[in-house]
Amino acid sequence: MRFKTDLRNIRTFSKLVAALNSLEKIAWVRLDDDTVRFTVIPDTGSQVWASLSVDLIFDNYHLQSAEPNNTINLELPLGPLQRALRSAAGSNHASLRLTKRDGVPMLSMTIHAMTKDPGGANAATAAAAAAAARAGYPPDADDDLFPQESLELSMRREREKIITQDIPVRVLHPDTVETIMQPKVREPDVHIQLPPLLQLKAISDRFTKLALTTTTGSAARPNAPGPRLELSANMHGSLRLRLVAESLDIESVWDGLDNPELDPSQLAVPLEEHPSTAFRAAGPERWATVRVDGKDWSRVLSVGRLEGRVIACFADDHALILYVYVPHHDDAAAEDVVTYYVSSYSA
């Protein structure tokens, strides 16, 4: 079993891990030749299936296992991974490999980084010089042959450091993950592009706080279920967020949002028979509604940090799914999807 890769788009990777980490501390990672999939399934709350193409976050990807498609299943703590990724931000080069230390499997991240020169001015130059030196010569090459010339005293020996971050992992047997299935949900009644998540989150959080202050007592328990928010959308570009509590009834409505066209080739049923067609025909007063837990919803919305477009699919009084499209920085056409199955409640 082998897994070794260079890291790319560390910022995006780090943000994804941060978003997942807000829902659950431990993730199931499934690696195969084509995709990297992160799955978090909390005991209560929303679950996430993030299926990424390998080249979104990895480069020089080497994978080898006895399973079909070289599949490797890992369980890893997201906190340490996030911490390691954060320390890799701004590095010259970072790589990841599956290894063992003292017989315990580890995901070992190797980071080549510079520290900032106290003088500051020439740190970038020094970094570039070091990077060039690394590209030109193997790291173990005798540097004495090609001494780096100092431009000034303060950068005389500013060298690249090699940082190794070992993240504890468990290698999962295929049998143990066989039974974990991605949820199946019926065709949605309404699909709509959400407004900027920062805005939606700010208002949702405000509603949740309001509800917590009006219903005294439940706020004291940290793990108590949060207040229920009512989330509705129609096929005419509107999204409504509503809170009904003992003494108040408030709502926010967004208009002019996009209900994207469906691609008929991707549908199981002809477009005319798709539930959304009926909802569109029923006019703007036909809302598909779900109820979400305010605290859980806030954690879900932290995915906004990925800065991707988010499509919400409502199955009226049944389910809410968010598709978060993660753009590739170097390839505008390519997109990866992170799927949130938001836990919802019936009225």
Partner 1 sequence: MTVLNFTLNEEGIAVLHDALTCMFKFSDELCLEAKGDKLVLTTLNISKSAYVCFTFAANRFFSRYNFEGNAQYRDRFYCQLYIRSLLSVFRARQGIDPGGHRETTIERCDVAIDDGPGIRSRLIARIVGRNGITATHSLAFEPKAPTHAKFDMDEATNHWALSSSTLRQLMDYFGPGIELLDINTDYDRKVVNFTCFTEKVQKKGANSNEAVLKKPLHTNIAVEMEEFDKVEVQDKLHIIISVKDFRAILQHAQVVSGELTTSYSNPGRPMKLTYSSEGLLCEFILMTVGEKDAMGQKHKNPRANSAAPKGFARPELDAGSRRGSSVGNENRTQPGAPGASARSAARQKSPVRSRQPGFEIRPQPMAPPPRPLPPPSASEASDSLFVAQDEDQKWEPLNPDEEEEENGADRLEWNSNNEPNPSTMRISSYVNHPTPVETEPEVDESLASGLEPTQRLSEVRQFGLFSN
Residues that bind partner 1 (CB under 8 A): 26, 75-77, 80, 83-84, 87, 101, 103-104, 106, 111, 115-116, 118, 140, 143, 157-170
Q: Which is nearer to partner 1, 171 or 282 (CB)?
A: 171
At closest approach, how far in Å is the CB of 93 from partner 1?
14
In sequence order, what are the residues at sequence separation of 6 or more whose Cβ sits closer than 8 angstroms to the Cβ of residue 288? Answer: 188, 189, 190, 232, 233, 234, 279, 314, 315, 316, 317
Q: Which is nearer to partner 1, 163 or 219 (CB)?
A: 163
Q: Which is nearer to partner 1, 87 or 339 (CB)?
A: 87
CB 207 within 8 A of CB 229: yes
Element (H, E) at 19: helix 10-21
Q: Which is nearer to partner 1, 117 or 293 (CB)?
A: 117
Q: Which is nearer to partner 1, 106 or 212 (CB)?
A: 106
In sequence order, what are the residues at sequence separation of 6 or more whose Cβ sits closer than 8 angstroms to the Cβ of residue 347? Answer: 291, 317
At closest approach, how far in Å is the CB of 84 from partner 1?
6
Which residues share a beta bridge with 242?
A: 230, 251
At closest approach, how far in Å is the CB of 151 from partner 1?
16
- DSSP state for residue 147 in the 8-state scheme: P
Q: Which is nearer to partner 1, 77 or 237 (CB)?
A: 77
At closest approach, how far in Å is the CB of 99 from partner 1?
12
The candidate with the shortest Cα–Cα distance to 188, out of 98, 321, 292, is 321
Token duo for residue 106: 């580890």
Token duo for residue 238: 């509107």
At closest approach, how far in Å is the CB of 111 from partner 1?
8
At closest approach, how far in Å is the CB of 173 from partner 1?
11
Give the DSSP per-residue string, 125-136. Answer: HHHHHHHHHHHH
